[in-house]
Amino acid sequence: MHPVTAVEVDLVGTADAPQAARCALRSLCADQIHGDLLLDAELLISELATDALMDGGQRIVLNARLAADRLFVEVIGQDPRFESDNDCATGGGLDTVDDLSSRWGVHEGTSHVWFELQR
């Protein structure tokens, strides 16, 4: 049985948030996942952190858990609502999440987005 490894990071809503999110992910799992899976995870985290930042997030929370069979990531923006007609919902970020992730979703009425990547 493989242990679950997890990290939770509060990101300040500045232009550095996407890079800080990628660094947190690498600290969690760079020695356990490699190649395209790590690159996809970093891209998805960057997209979601950027979307949360563009939605006016002063604070962004990143939760990531690495298990034997998957990487699960949540990006939670401060904005209490998720605008289905904004850019992050109709292009860019969520389109990329849809293309690359195994599964993903949005907690209805929030800017809380999650995705999974199968290992």
Q: What is the CATH number of the domain that holds 94?
A: 3.30.565.10
Spatial strand order of the sheet with 103-106 comes to 5-12, 59-66, 70-77, 112-118, 103-106
Q: What is the pLDDT of residue 102?
A: 92
Instruction: Please check the confidence at residue 8 and state whether its pLDDT lies above 50.
Output: yes
Domain extent, residue 19, equals 5-118
Number of domains forming the structure of the chain:
1
Q: What is the pLDDT of residue 118?
A: 93
Q: What is the pLDDT of residue 57?
A: 67
pLDDT digit string, tens, across residues 42-51: 999 999 988 8
3-state class (DSSP) for residue 46: helix
pLDDT digit string, tens, across residues 80-108: 554 544 444 444 678 899 999 999 998 87
Query: Quick one: which of 116, 113, 46, 47 has its CA closest to 79?
Result: 113
pTM value surpassing 0.85: no
Distance in angstroms (rounded) separating the CA atoms of residues 43 and 115 = 12
3-state class (DSSP) for residue 85: coil
Distance in angstroms (rounded) separating the CA atoms of residues 119 and 18 = 23
pLDDT confidence tier of residue 63, bands split at 50, 70 and 90: very high
